[in-house]
Amino acid sequence: MDLTPDREEMVPVPGSRAYVRINGDLAGPRPPIVFIHGGPGSAHWYFLNALPLASERAVILYDQLDSGRSDTPNDPANWHVSRFVDELEAIRAHLGVTRWHVLGASWGGTVALEYGARRPPQLASLILQSPLISTDLWLKDASILKERMPPETRAMLDRCDGPNPPPAAGCEAATDAFYARHVRMRPPSPAIEAYRAALPRSFSPAIYNAMWGRAEFTATGSLKDYDGRPLLARLDGRRTLFVAGEHDEARPETVADFAREVPHASFAMIPDAAHSIMNDNGPAFVARLRRWFAEVEA
């Protein structure tokens, strides 16, 4: 698979400029899809397995401010939810997109939820993949999954988040063991790994720690009290798809419950995948997206 973008540019957004890349024809007959990465502080690279969709519609990937190839003002004043939503809208307006599908994964699902709740007329459909909708429920899921880890790993994770944490190496090993089960089950392909390695930043710890915390199951940052559940009532359920991986840290049961709170919304579980669904089982996820587009564009 060729990972080269057909077009790339630095787009003015609130706070500075965001890196945006496009594959496919923005002026084509089908609405493009934009992917919003997680983190906060990750980058667009883990959506590269979605590029086969570009033969049918434009695929837009971008890095949020202070992430990936985007500018890094490193100003905490930019690190609030509404600015990230405004960033997405600034990209749409700059590209002249009149209608698009919006997919947000993990923290990107928070941005997508907030965007969808605004009911923009340009929104063809909304895909919330493993979304952070409620920090409280996210941490409850994490606690359930931690309890299923081997006793020694579970004990180490508890100590790492306690008042007197053990040496960093032990915490990293235990965290990696959790991540291998529930975040990313397998490494990226060699081509995508090389692409990631060439990025200025594939992960930005400053923004992650400020907005979230030490690890996926520890929230100490500005998102620690986030609750987007009231926004679910504002979504257009007929054009909303919730997705989770079979082994996702955003447990499928929880994501399915969110879908049930939105009248007429759909839910899909992607087998043999954890949280990084497009990495773990890209072909199955792309196939499900194609079916979704066929439904909502009929």
SS (H, E, C) 110-135: HHHHHHHHCCCCCEEEEEEECCCCEH
**C-alpha–C-alpha distance, residues 238 and 296, integer Å:** 8
Share of the chain above pLDDT 70, in %: 100
Residue 162: pLDDT band by 50, 70, 90 thresholds? confident
Q: Is residue 244 part of a domain?
A: yes
pLDDT tens-digit map of 22-68: 999 999 999 999 999 999 999 999 999 999 999 999 999 999 999 99
Angle at 275 between CA 164 and CA 6, to 5 degrees: 125
**C-alpha–C-alpha distance, residues 162 and 158, integer Å:** 6
Any idea which of 104-118, 129-143, 148-162 has the lowest mean pLDDT? 148-162
**C-alpha–C-alpha distance, residues 121 and 123, integer Å:** 6
Q: Could you give the 3-state DSSP secondary structure of residue 68?
A: coil
Report pLDDT for 35. Answer: 99
| 164: pLDDT strictly greater than 90 | no
Q: Is residue 155 part of a domain?
A: no
**C-alpha–C-alpha distance, residues 195 and 188, integer Å:** 10
Report pLDDT for 4. Answer: 98
Would you call 128 exposed, middle or buried from its count of C-beta atoms within 10 A (0-12, 13-18, 19+)? buried
Residue 149: pLDDT band by 50, 70, 90 thresholds? very high
CATH assignment of the domain containing 77? 3.40.50.1820
Q: How many domains does the chain have?
A: 1
pLDDT tens-digit map of 244-296: 999 999 999 999 999 999 999 999 999 999 999 999 999 999 999 999 999 99
Q: Is residue 179 part of a domain?
A: no
**265 is in which domain, residue-wise?**
7-136+189-296
Residue 161: pLDDT band by 50, 70, 90 thresholds? confident
| 163: pLDDT strictly greater than 90 | no
| 1: pLDDT strictly greater than 90 | no
Question: Tokens 């959506």, residue?
Answer: 47
**C-alpha–C-alpha distance, residues 235 and 232, integer Å:** 6
Residue 237: pLDDT band by 50, 70, 90 thresholds? very high
Q: Is residue 50 part of a domain?
A: yes
The residue with greater pLDDT, 162 or 94, is 94
What's the pTM value of the predicted model, to 2 decimals?
A: 0.97
**C-alpha–C-alpha distance, residues 219 and 26, integer Å:** 38
pLDDT tens-digit map of 192-211: 999 999 999 999 999 999 99
Q: Is residue 148 part of a domain?
A: no
Report pLDDT for 176. Answer: 96
Q: Is residue 162 part of a domain?
A: no
Phi, psi of 270 (to 5 degrees): -95, 120
Work out the mean pLDDT of the chain and round it to a whole number: 97
Q: Is residue 167 part of a domain?
A: no
pLDDT tens-digit map of 104-117: 999 999 999 999 99
Residue 80: pLDDT band by 50, 70, 90 thresholds? very high
Report pLDDT for 38. Answer: 98
Count of CA atoms in the C-beta half-sphere (13 A) of 130: 29
Q: Is residue 237 part of a domain?
A: yes
End-to-end CA distance of the chain: 29
